[in-house]
Structure 1
Amino acid sequence: MTDLHSPEIQLIRFRRRVYFAGAVVLVCFSLLFARFFWLQVVRHDYYATRAEDNRIALLPVTPNRGLILDRNGEVLARNYSAYTLEIQPSRVSNLEHTIDELAKLVNIEARDRKRFRKLMEESRNFDTLPIRTRLTDEEVARFIGQRYRFPGVEVRARLFRQYPNTELASHVLGYMGRINRRDAARIDEAGVADNYRGTDHIGKAGLEQFYEDELHGVTGFEQVEVTAAGRAVRVLSHTAPQNGNNLRLTLDAGLQRVVEQAFGERRGALVAIEPSTGGVLALVSKPTFDPNLFVDGIDAANWEALNTSADHPLLNRAIYSAYPPGSTFKPFMALGALTAGKRTPSFAIADPGHFEYGGHLFRDDKVGGHGSVDMHKSIVVSCNTYYYRLAADWGIDGIAGFMSQMGLGSRTGIDIEGESTGVLPSPEWKKKRFKRPEQQKWYAGETISVGIGQGYNAYTMMQMAQAVAILANDGVVFKPHLVKQIENVRTGASRQVEPKPVRTVDLKPEHIAVIKQAMVDVNKAGTGARAFAGAPYVAAGKTGTAQAFSLRGAQYRGGKLAEKLRDHALFVAFAPADDPKIALAVIVENAGFGAQSAAPIARQVFDYYLLGNKPAGPAPEDSDATDSE
């Protein structure tokens, strides 16, 4: 019988165990060596790159946004640096608790919380969002001392946009806002996502939006060596950002102030153009707004106030809102009739105070009429009957064809977004506008109202100002523009926006002279005479009144109507009449007669621009002024 406890058997068993353990160790070491070989030899380049990436962080360096200056060098939009307290929601487990704890260190108001929630809805979860901006040095120090308690929260130095004149030219400048999902998608589609790394804001409206590519600049980068905890040790390399280009405008900030002050609390719009270049000297939409409200992300209370206001302060009335031109349309009707051979300057009618067409009576504002009326008198006294008859003789196709040459009913191409086309009525337009066949038919009676600037007529003040500038410039058409030159701050070079004639309307000098002289006499002896009494320069103009709603044959009694139903007051003009330096169109909403409310604003504009006279307050309303329209 074999002894299991014999030394020989135990030695054999021990050797087997040693061999087995050795084999296991050998296999393990072989696996470790194979893995080591795979990592260190086969995948060396890949992991070396990963290690280098962990050691080196590539940080974006945001460029300074370009400045916006008026034609005389006054700064209208600039930048400033401030500390912000920012939270990355994806790294914070209990957001409300974190904000409550932060509020013990830094003043966080209810509006800050509301704005933060609004930004969260518009942004991606991994974005860092500001809970407080413009921290004081003391607030920064208090947070830094407790920073370890708040993972996902940090203080950053940011550049912010500032509009030092608050509401001045707000519809021209536009505003900046945080990049939302829609903006990010648009940036990705344009292939410029890398250039927006580290950038939180983008132009949302006005020049800030239209010239975003010029103003933004080129983002720079820093290679920074960091520890395993992510703390920067040293800068390895630096690629400097290229600051955005500055915009120098055609706009005159002083003139813009005069216009905005002249309106006072009234609603409306004014556009003033330099006829010889197309440069926009003033572009005003009232009421205005403060673009600084949008820089940090507008809070709910201010957004609600702006968005629900009955006066619609965010609406750019100068380029978007289209109004009936009223009697300011008459000089263009007269010029077109001369050009088309439908009238001569001496052709006169006997005005009985009305015009009958198709069994309908179209009335003049002056009971009993104006007597014998030729073209000159028709403009000076603003005789409706003359233009009722002219429209009937000329026809809608002829009217629409000429007015389109004057730029009415089409976008001017000004360099800000949001311009509307307005409405130049014609049979073709009506077919596109209405769906039912009975609505699409053009009736001859509709042409009669078009002739006095009513009916379907609707144009922006930008279009009206351009039309006046074309007349003042003897038919030469320039594209309206707001930017005069683009300045490269690095090289000092500048690109001029060269004014070039777009086209020329075929007008005879003798015809232009007839219309200009009649418009001069409007301000000497006609409906604009009271507003321009004593002016040391000669200005040409035309007053207008446009209905805000149809009277349906009733007599207009402005004092008995609700304010929103009263007529709009309009005025178009240029000066000096013999060598025009400025042409404008102005509307004051629901203000009655053009001579009463709109012409006094134009007088203040001309007095400032031509004489340097600064008005003491808003343009007064002439309570005794009337229009014969």
Structure 2
Amino acid sequence: MRKQRDNLKRPEQELRIFRMRALLASLVVFTLTGILMGRLGYLQVVQHEVYSTRSENNRVRVEPLPPTRGLIYDRNGELLAENRPTYNLMMVRERVDDLDATLALLVDLLALPEEEAEAFRVRSRQRQRPFQPALLMSDLDEAQIARLAVNRHRLPGLEVEAQLLRYYPDAEIMAHAIGYVGRINAEELTTLDAGRYAGTHFIGKTGVERSYEEQLHGQAGLRKVETNARGRVLRELDRSDPVPGSDLTLTLDKELQSLAYDLLDGRRGSIVAVAPASGEILAMVSVPGFDSNQFVTGIDFASYRALQDNLDLPLFNRAIRGQYPPGSTIKPFLALAGLAEGEITPDSTINDPGFFQLPNDSRRYRNWLRWGHGRVDMERSIAVSNNTYYYTLAHDLGIDRLHENMTGFGFGQRVGHDVFGESSALMPSRDWKRGRYNQPWYPGETLSVGIGQGYWQVTPLQLATATAVLANRGEWVKPRLARRIGDEELPVDLPETPPDIKITNDNWWDRVFSGMEKVLSGNEGTARRTGVDLEYRMGGKSGTAQVFSLGQDQRYNADELAERLRDHALFMAFAPLEDPQIAVSVIVENAGGGSTHAAHLARAMTDAWLLGDDQLDVDEIRDELENDDASVPGG
């Protein structure tokens, strides 16, 4: 029992244990206190500038100020592209606590359909520069703004901002020429200047908007603001104003452009008009058009699919990307090539039996008039659009000299100075065919090129440009869409302008022009009905481009063909002959003969430019087209 009491009571041992525990506790306290004091010293002394800067950044925020995009006007000062005030939903992703929950709430608040909701989610996750506001939704309506304002406390990192949004008053008529702006995508974001495009959410995608993006955009500014704990701006501390983009004045004439659109009357086709002396593109229309305003804020899936699935291809710019056989419109150019190469003179004649045959070849390459035109010289060959004359000439020239002379007029090349997305089309050659098909060039293919068929393809802009060079008697003036950037006029002499076409005898131009004038005014001219009561001298040439090839003894009958298999109608013209002010190319797809369905439209364009469009009756022109016989395959 005593031994047990001795084990229970050991004061010295208990005191020793107590002292050890007290010492350990003191060491722990002093160690933790030292660590805390050291950390406080490190943060407040060593890291003072770092955390002072962070604190300042929480209170002071630098915000980009996007520049105002330059306006676009036509040559007469008519507004073609403006900026309208709108409200956009912006998000700073780093300030959003729960992105998925926030997006779900937004979709519910804004009542977005599933297709738009998915696009909304994709945009929210698009790679963005840190702390830069990302555009989620454009052009909010009043009801959406009100719902967002009421629920603002539930949406940290999101703000509704007032901004200017691009708007096109004449969207369908100007869509292909002017183009449109759209949201900056992830790929573009990696290539753009971060400073210049800070706060900018739109960029030129097509047309003039794309070609002159640098001038139209301007330079972004910055402002330094003080905010509270919730991120609301309390006051502005400093500001660097943005530099607005330059206004752009185009060469287009809004009235002439509208007339061209109305003349086509919804039929697939294109009209291009150029001022020969200056190269100014007066009109450049592709029909059908589309509402380019839909693409500014982001077109919905259903509308875009409808445009894509439309058989008439409204998104396709026929004026610069449509590639068509030029048909007989190229006969004046071939006549000049024959004169320049010494293969013909203006008075050279052939006897046309209605066909042409290669040596030792039984195949007959037929004239459109099957019994032939009899004795034909150069001027008459243009007026009546005689195929046999140009089969003969093409055979004598050969494909090499044909290619060389035609590329001099711009065929097979991009001809525009500032025309974004232009196709070079195709001027065939031996080398091209060898590279494309690994086959030699055959003599019969040269004959097809001689009447603007076969492999030869042109765009309406190319044909209008070549006609302008012809009207200028070989002088090249590169076509352009911009007339003035800000207050600076664009020069007429532009870089990379092709060399002028030199011909030894100036009288040859007159003789070719005479043949072109007889197309509209001569007794046998293929477009003589179009030239009735002309108040000025006009030269032109009709063309009919085959969509598919006929057999040697087959005859073309439009009534037996599906509409989209019928010939294309073409016409090129310039006026007045003595001082050309306008050169026009017209193509109407699957319309039949160019001497009817295209010639009347070219005449209307020249009348409007030279006489004033107040004398035109578009409905009367449409009636003439319906009553005319479009069955003449040669013109």
Q: TM-score, normalised by structure 1?
A: 0.91
1:81 corresponds to which letter in structure 2? P
The 1-side partners of 2:108 and 2:618 are apart by: 50
- 2:524 is the alignment partner of 1:540: no
Q: Please list the CA deviations of residues 561-616 of structure 1 after superposition, one character each: whole Å capped at 9, or x if unmatched.
A: 11100000000000111000111111000000011100111111111111112434
Q: Partners in 1 of 2:40 and 2:493 — Cα distance? A: 72
Quote the residue 2:281 is aligned against. 280
SS at match of 1:255: helix
CA contact (8 A) 2:403 2:429 kept: yes
Which aligned pairs between 1:68-107 and structure 2 lie closer than 5 A? Answer: 68-85=72-89, 91-94=98-101, 97-99=104-106, 101-103=108-110
Determine whether 1:251 maps to 2:248: no
Q: What's the offset of the Cα at 1:26?
A: 2.9
**Structure 2 counterpart of 1:193:** 194
Give the drift of 1:10: 7.8
SS in structure 1 opposite 2:219? Answer: coil
Amino acid at match of 1:276: A
**Conservation of the 8 A alpha-carbon contact between 1:115 and 1:298:** no
Residue correspondence of structure 1 range 250-399 to structure 2 within 5 A: 250-357=251-358, 358-399=361-402
- Paired AA for residue 275 in structure 1: P
Provide the C-alpha distance between the structure 2 equivalents of 1:142 and 1:625, rounded to a whole number of angstroms. Answer: 60
- Partners of 1:559 and 1:119 lie apart in 2 by 50
Deviations 1:402-454 (A, max 9, x none): 0011111111133132111111111111012114xxxx111111111111111
Secondary structure at 2:451 match in 1: coil
Contact 1:381 1:628 in 2 (8 A): no
1:422 corresponds to 2:425: yes
Indicate the SS of the match to 1:395: helix
Alpha-carbon shift at residue 176 of structure 1 (Å): 1.5
Asked if the contact 1:382–1:627 (Cα under 8 Å) also holds between the matched residues in 2, the reply is no
Does structure 2 retain, via aligned residues, the 8 Å contact 1:120–1:129?
Answer: no
Which string of whole-angstrom CA distances, capped at 9 and with x for unpartnered residues, describes residues 304-355 of structure 1?
A: 1111110001111111111111000100000110011110001111111111
Alignment partners' CA distance in 1, 2:510 and 2:254: 33
AA paired with 1:155? V
User: Can you list the C-alpha shifts for 1:225-274, whole angstroms capped at 9, x where unaligned?
Assistant: 11222222111101111111111101111110010001001111111111
1:514 to 2:520 alignment = no
Q: Which residue of 1 aligns with 2:165?
A: 160
Aligned residue in 2 for 1:28? 32
User: Distance between the aligned counterparts of 1:85 and 1:616, measured in 2?
Assistant: 48
Residue number among 32, 51, 56 corresponding to 2:55 in the alignment: 51
Corresponding residue of 1:133: 139
Could you say if the C-alpha distance between residues 157 and 452 of structure 1 is closer, same or farther in structure 2, counting changes exceeding 3 Å?
same
Give yes or no for contact 1:546–1:570 (8 Å, CA) kept in 2.
yes
AA aligned opposite 1:145: V
Cα contact 1:87–1:131 (8 A) shared by 2: no
Q: Deviations over 1:52-91 (max 9, x none)?
A: 2222111111111111111111110011111234567874
1:590 corresponds in structure 2 to 590
Question: Are 1:217 and 2:218 counterparts?
Answer: yes
Q: Output the CA distance in 2 between the equivalents of 1:589 and 1:30.
A: 89
Unaligned residue ranges in structure 2 (runs of 5+): 129-133
**Is the CA contact (8 Å cut-off) linking 1:88 and 1:125 kept in structure 2?**
no
Distance 1:95 1:17, change over 3 A: closer
Matched residue, 1:530: 529
- 1:474-485 correspondence runs (5 A): 474-485=473-484
Structure 1 counterpart of 2:131: none
Out of 184, 194, 219, the residue aligned to residue 189 of structure 2 is 184
Q: CA deviation at 1:9?
A: 8.4
Report the alpha carbon displacement of residue 120 of structure 1 after superposing the two structures with TM: 3.8
| 2:67 paired residue number | 63
The answer for the alignment partner of 2:500 in structure 1 is 504
Conservation of the 8 A alpha-carbon contact between 2:75 and 2:250:
yes
2:492 is matched by which residue type in structure 1? Answer: P
Shift in CA distance, 474/420, structure 1 to aligned 2, threshold 3 Å: same
Q: Distance in 1 between matches of 2:595 and 2:126?
A: 57
In the other structure, the counterpart of 1:551 is 550
User: Contact 1:595–1:626 (CA<8 Å) still a contact in 2?
Assistant: no
Question: 1:83–1:157: 8 Å Cα contact kept in structure 2?
Answer: yes
Preserved contact between residue 275 and residue 581 of structure 1 (Cα < 8 Å): yes
- Does 79-88 or 33-42 show the bigger shift? 79-88
Cα 1:471/1:123, change in 2 over 3 Å = farther
Task: Decide whether the 8 Å contact of 2:135 with 2:201 is kept in 1.
Answer: no
Matched-pair contact (CA < 8 Å) for 1:115–1:297? no
- Are residues 70 and 116 of structure 1, via their aligned partners in 2, closer, same or farther at CA, if it must alter by over 3 Å? farther
Do the aligned partners of 2:124 and 2:136 also contact (CA within 8 Å) in 1?
A: no
Percent of aligned pairs with the same amino acid: 43
The alpha-carbon deviation at position 462 of structure 1 amounts to: 1.0
CA distance in 2, matches of 1:109, 1:122: 14
Distance 1:355 1:427 in 2: 22
Query: 1: distance between equivalents of 2:509 and 2:149?
Result: 72
2:306 and 2:10 map into 1 onto residues whose CA distance is 101
Counterparts in 2 of 1:51 and 1:150: CA distance versus 1, 3 Å: closer
Cα distance in 1, alignment partners of residues 127 and 441 from structure 2: 58
User: Which deviates more from structure 2 when the two are superposed, residues 506-515 or residues 559-568?
Assistant: 506-515
Provide closer, same or farther for how the CA distance between residues 124 and 506 of structure 1 changes in structure 2, counting only shifts above 3 A.
Answer: farther
Task: State the 1:626 CA deviation.
Answer: 5.6
CA distance in 1, matches of 2:367, 2:479: 35
Aligned residues: 608
Residue 491 (structure 1) aligns with: none
In 2, the alpha carbon distance for the partners of 1:298 and 1:181 equals 18
Cα displacement (A) at 1:211: 1.3
**Match in the other structure for 1:235:** 236
- Whole-angstrom CA distance in 2 between matches of 1:396 and 1:543: 23
Q: Distance in 2 between matches of 1:258 and 1:575?
A: 18
Deviation at 1:125, TM superposition (A): 4.3
Shift of residue 134, structure 1, vs aligned partner: 3.3
- Do 1:176 and 1:203's aligned partners in 2 also have CA atoms closer than 8 Å? yes
Check the 8 A contact 1:124/1:181 in 2, yes or no: no
CA distance in structure 1 between the aligned counterparts of 2:159 and 2:492, rounded to whole angstroms: 49
Q: Distance in 2 between matches of 1:537 and 1:626?
A: 28
Aligned-pair CA distance for 1:469: 0.6
Does the 8 Å CA contact 2:247/2:485 hold for their aligned counterparts? yes
- Per the alignment, do residues 123 and 381 of structure 1 end up closer, same or farther by CA in structure 2, a change over 3 Å counting? farther
**Alignment RMSD:** 2.4
Tell me, what secondary structure is at the counterpart of 1:327?
helix
Q: What is the identity, as a one-letter code, of the residue corresponding to 2:139?
A: T
Residue 317 of structure 2 aligns to a residue in which SS? Answer: coil
CA distance in structure 2 between the partners assigned to 1:45 and 1:260 by the alignment: 66
Larger displacement relative to structure 2 (39-48 or 201-210):
39-48
Task: Tell me if structure 1 keeps the 8 A contact 2:286–2:318.
Answer: yes
Query: Given residue 458 of structure 2, which amino acid in structure 1 is its aligned partner?
Result: Y
Q: Confirm or deny: 8 A CA contact 2:71 2:82 kept in the other structure.
A: yes
> What code does the residue aligned with 1:176 have?
V
Q: Could you tell me how far 1:457 is from its partner in structure 2?
A: 0.9
Where 1:476 maps in the other structure, the secondary structure is: coil
Residue 360 of structure 1: how far off its partner (Å)? 1.0
Displacement of 1:141 after TM fit? 3.4
Moved more, 344-353 or 36-45: 36-45
Contact 2:102 2:155 in 1 (8 A): no
Matched, 1:578 2:578: yes
